[in-house]
Chain A
């Protein structure tokens, strides 16, 4: 269920330095196999990287348990929280992760902004990945002494405007309250799934229990791009495509899905518009 962002960089590293990659399987409804996760560790395991919330399925992975397991095995773990941070309260210390990443553009902030959290102890041991201004304490032609964390990882003039925008976005979300956001989004998601299932002929992908506010679906054998075009004409914006998760699409046996997603600014009228749109698809392709 991983996004390409958590697949491709590891393959690049594999090709560069020859690491081995091990992928943990999931069930048909998109739930990670925790027994397989624990069994995947061996004496060669150097790093674990997992998505917190699946952008394509809405699965909320038990990352607290996964972090506990990784910690017990002495292996650092990175959590990709791009879909979690905007929709739920995240406490990296309570989670017990070593690294946590999320992007600003999925939480009302400008593109080009984002956060990579790392435990100080690990960051101190790591070398800079980029050289330039700001990341140094002193430079001579003979030697460079690097700055303290986090500056040693922030070479050059930073993306000031997007990052200021990200801070404003975080304050804005905090002023609404992430618990309140999560409650509203969960309500809309539940209402939407019930309504979609009530229509008949629509397959909803992902876990049956708790999920993040995305609903990937297929209307009979209508291609998701046709679904997307018709919903667009009905005034409903969905994502149609592989959601940067091609291995997941293959696992589900579909070329792509249509995906409706909810945020705190949606309401039940939006769910109704979605249902009306799906009915229009069924009518046209009936």
Chain B
């Protein structure tokens, strides 16, 4: 059983209250819209990629504390990293939520491991994963990501 404080850690609450990289990014060349129709979480991710590097990234939208903190911490994590490494983070984050992330992956994810507690709550996993789905959709060039149906990256993965 996940303790409430493991789930709602201070860093998650802080990112929920003061989301980083929040708001529309005008200068972008990749974007995608992510939506969970079951709960209403709704985000847009804007990415500026240059020479294979995530030069800038932002997100806009609304949802629960878990999804908003996940989006905020994700954008902080991948900004300045190569697209390749961003995709590695996406894979690792998914693996963590599915409960089969190896030790080197855990190390690489660093403080994003605060979301490990969410993996214990089946009905909240999609909250944490939605921004990552959406980032993946933006990077691979699809316009929509959803936690349900044909656009569910999780199911396709």
Contact = CB atoms under 8 A, between A and B. Distances in A.
Interface string A232-248: 01000000011000000
Interface in A196-255: 222-226, 229-230, 233, 241-242, 255
B128 to A, nearest CB: 12
Contacts of A226: 8, 64-66
Contact of A225 (B3, B4, B124): B124
Contacts of A47: none
B7 A229 contact: yes
A217 B41 CA distance: 19
Nearest to A255: B40
Interface in B47-77: 62-66
Interface residues of B, number: 19
| Interface size range on A against B | 10 to 19
B8 A225 contact: no
A280 interface: yes
Nearest to A285: B13
A225 B62 contact: no
B65 A285 contact: yes
Contact of B63 (A223, A233, A241, A285): A223
A284 B66 contact: no
A241 to B, nearest CB: 7
B66 A256 contact: no
Contact of A241 (B3, B8, B39, B62): B39
B64 A223 contact: yes
A134 to B, nearest CB: 38
Contacts of B121: 229
Nearest to A225: B64
A242 B64 CA distance: 14
A233 B117 CA distance: 13
Contact of A230 (B8, B63, B123): B8
Given A229-B124, A230-B4, A230-B8, A255 B62 contact: yes
Interface in A255-286: 255-256, 280, 284-285
B119 interface: no
B40 A256 contact: yes
Contacts of B13: 284-285
Contacts of B63: 223, 255
Contacts of A224: 64
A256 B41 CA distance: 10
B127 interface: yes
Contacts of B62: 255
Contacts of A230: 4, 8
A38 to B, nearest CB: 35
Given A229-B124, A255-B40, A256-B39, A280 B4 contact: yes
Contacts of B124: 225, 229
A225 B5 CA distance: 16
A225 B7 contact: no
B40 A284 contact: no
B13 to A, nearest CB: 7
Contacts of A256: 39-40
Interface in A38-66: none
Nearest to B5: A284
Interface in B3-33: 3-5, 7-8, 13
Given A230-B4, A233-B7, A285-B8, 12 more contacts: A222-B65, A223-B64, A229-B121, A230-B8, A233-B2, A233-B4, A241-B38, A255-B62, A256-B40, A284-B8, A284-B13, A285-B13
Interface of A: 222-226, 229-230, 233, 241-242, 255-256, 280, 284-285
16 contacts: A222-B65, A223-B65, A225-B124, A226-B8, A226-B64, A226-B66, A229-B124, A230-B4, A230-B8, A233-B3, A255-B40, A255-B62, A255-B63, A256-B39, A256-B40, A280-B4
